[in-house]
Amino acid sequence: MIKIFKAYNPVNVLWLAVLLFVLRIGYTVHVPDKLEFTFVESFARLLIPIAYEYVFTPALNMMLAGILVLAQAVLLNYLVNHFNLLSKPSFLPALMYVTLTALFTPFMVLSAPLICNFLVIWMLFKLFSFYKSEDAKSTAYDLGMIVAVGSLIYFPFIFLFLAIWIALLIFKPFNWREWISCILGYITVFFFLAVLYYLNGRLGRFYDIWAPLGSKFPNSIHIRYLDYLVLIPVIIIIGLYFVKLQQNFLKSYVHVRKSFQLLFVMFLITGLSFYIKSVFNINHFLLCAVPAAVFCSYYFINATTKWFYESLYLLLLISIIYLQFNTF
């Protein structure tokens, strides 16, 4: 399987579609009668004043989610190849993204984090372009607006604002105008939301939007550990990625090194930002799938022992499918 996707062959898009269907076939057996889809946060419902949560049947919901995942996989693959992050073109980023977005059943349906992954990929295109841009003020402004739109859809997305400033530190010398530009971009979107609140006589409640930012990071999370056994192969792959990255780090181009530093920062930010949601939901970690897919791809593109890396990926596939049918 890995050998097929190491080649940059457009036919692999068809194999991706087949794999996407296979990885989700187990969930169709246990799919609920109703699947809720919340497109925006409650404070942004004024933007969409209609009931839409249950407008899609479970089958249509899963089909649309699969289409979005496939589109995101192709976009991510283009991003990685465009910036030459893996040193040679392949379809491994798309393969790993399709695989990682099937780790848990909540990943397989329409959700706000899934929608936001389009914004994550869009942000990465702009963030990686900082390296060669002389004046990044307009790009920083656009990024601020992207984060604001993402916050309307899924509020923890607000923490990716930090990724803009960290990217400016990594890729460019300090310029306070660029740092201010992204703030102005963010304010622009929420200014129009404030106007909408004012016109509806709810301006006093506008300030409640930011209340979750004061939430304390939880000391513990109540989860069923058996449900997360599927993460064992992923942890092994990412661990091997760090080994390979350390071996090749100084051999890589400066832009590639800086890009992987930024991806790691975004992985941490997206992973740790779950706590401001009052109810813990595993689908939050879909936001981690984009950088994680690049990490896994880096390992597989540099792995040399075929029987080992093919077996490791096969173990991951079997784990995903098996745990869909066995919920313990």
Percent helix, strand, coil in the chain (nearest 5)?
A: 75, 0, 25
- 252 burial (CB, 10 Å; 0-12 / 13-18 / 19+) is middle
> What's the CA gap between 267 and 69, in Å, rounded?
18
The count of structural domains within the chain is 1
Measure the CA–CA gap between 294 and 78, rounded to whole angstroms: 12
What pLDDT score does 326 carry? 66
In this prediction, residue 101 carries a pLDDT of 94
- φ, ψ at 112 (rounded to 5°): -60, -45
Residues (pLDDT < 50) of the chain are 328
Could you give the angle at which helices 289-302 and 58-82 cross, rounded to 10 degrees? 50
Which of 41, 119, 39, 126 has the alpha carbon at shortest distance from 82? 126
How far apart (Å, rounded) are the C-alpha atoms in residues 110 and 133? 36
The DSSP secondary-structure symbol of 148 reads H
User: Residue 325: what pLDDT?
Assistant: 67
Residue type for position 262: L
Give pLDDT, residue 305: 86
Asked whether the beta carbons of 157 and 116 are under 8 A apart, the reply is yes
Whether the model pTM is above 0.75? yes
Residue 166: alpha-carbon gap to chain centroid: 18
Name the DSSP letter for residue 216: P
- How many whole angstroms from its chain centre is CA 113? 7
Range of the domain at 125: 2-325
Q: What is the pLDDT of residues 143-190, one digit of tens each?
A: 999 999 999 999 999 999 999 999 999 998 888 898 999 999 999 999
pLDDT of residue 226: 65
Give the closest residue to 81 by CA, choosing from 94, 69, 71: 94
